[in-house]
Structure formats: C-alpha cells, structure tokens
Amino acid sequence: MSVLKVIEVLADSDKSWEDAAHQAVEKASATVQNIKSVYIAEHSATIKDGKISSYRVNAKITFGLK
C-alpha cells in the first residue's frame, strides 16, 4: 500500500503558463522528494499596460510518503 500527499503551490512566470508549472515543480523538488505528479488547478495572468505581464498557476503536487 502506498500513501500519497498533496501540496498546493502557486507559481508565476513572465514567459508562459507552462513555464510557471515548470517553476512550481522545480521549486517544490528542492525540498520535496518522490514527486509523482502535478495537477494545474487554475490559470491566471496579471495585466500591465494592456498586455499580459505574468502568468500564474495554482499547482497541486502529489508525492509519495516513505
């Protein structure tokens, strides 16, 4: 039997939502081991001068407990 835990991470990027998701996993993996999956729950963006200035994701990261 395996036991999994889910944490919620907010991340942003000035490039894309995909890059924001990469940032979320990269930062989480610095302190969390055994990451199994990421679920992007929400996308949002901030606007400056009529253009998107940053992309944001609400990521749910699942990892196994030992």
Confidence of residue 66 (pLDDT cuts 50, 70, 90): confident
pLDDT (tens digit per residue) in 37-64? 999 989 999 999 999 999 999 999 999 9
pLDDT (tens digit per residue) in 6-44? 999 999 999 999 999 999 999 999 999 999 999 998 999
Closest CA to 10 of 52, 62, 23, 54: 23
Inter-residue contact 10 to 48 (CB < 8 Å): no
pTM of structure: 0.86
Q: Which domains does the chain have, with CATH numbers?
A: 3-65 (3.30.1660.10)
